[in-house]
Amino acid sequence: MNANANVIIREGTIAECIEISKNIPEFSNNLYDESTYHQRLFNTQHLILVAIKQQELVGFKIAYDRYRDGSLYSWLGGVLPRHRQDRIASKLAIEQEKWALKIGFQSIVLKTRNRFRNMLIFALKNGFLIENIEIKENIDDNRIILRKNLIIDK
């Protein structure tokens, strides 16, 4: 799909995403097993992207048609800490947006938590707007729902 700055973005597999997840600190307490991935992606349009740098899996992004309302739900993704300055998350997001537009999605929706400030900042810098907040007992666990419109109304 994209081979920019020695990073290759291509469609990937659930197994590759699980392998990458094991080395991402933010997932250390919440690793999903393979059956969870299959349940989420079963019988729905979805996209699994992986990033490869120097033949090493360094990041991934998974999205699917969760709400069936014209939005693509960007469910899960991450980049290995030592590669976070390589703009890999941006490259994955760009490829995801291209695919979403090609398929006909009108927007991308994602959820993050207060504790994942880097993800929140990344989303805001990349054109997402806060749409809603789910309040949890611990403020760090509040879910922040963001949306980026892909099709501009004229």
48-71 pLDDT, tens digit per residue, is: 999 999 999 999 999 999 999 999
Residue 32 lies in a domain: yes
Q: What is the pLDDT of residues 32-43, one digit of tens each?
A: 999 999 999 999
- Whose tokens are 């097993």? That residue is 33
**pTM across the whole model:** 0.93
Give pLDDT, residue 3.
44
**Gap between the Cα atoms of 97 and 50, Å rounded:** 14
Number of independent structural domains in the chain: 1
CA proximity to 12, closest of 46, 39, 40, 50: 50
Cα torsion 50, 126, 96, 107 to 10°: value is 150
Residue 70 lies in a domain: yes
51 is written with which tokens?
A: 């990033």
Length of the chain as a residue count = 154
- Whose tokens are 């290759």? That residue is 8
Residue 42 lies in a domain: yes
Residue 154 lies in a domain: no
Residue 95 lies in a domain: yes
**What CATH number does residue 17 fall under?**
3.40.630.30
Range of the domain at 43: 2-149
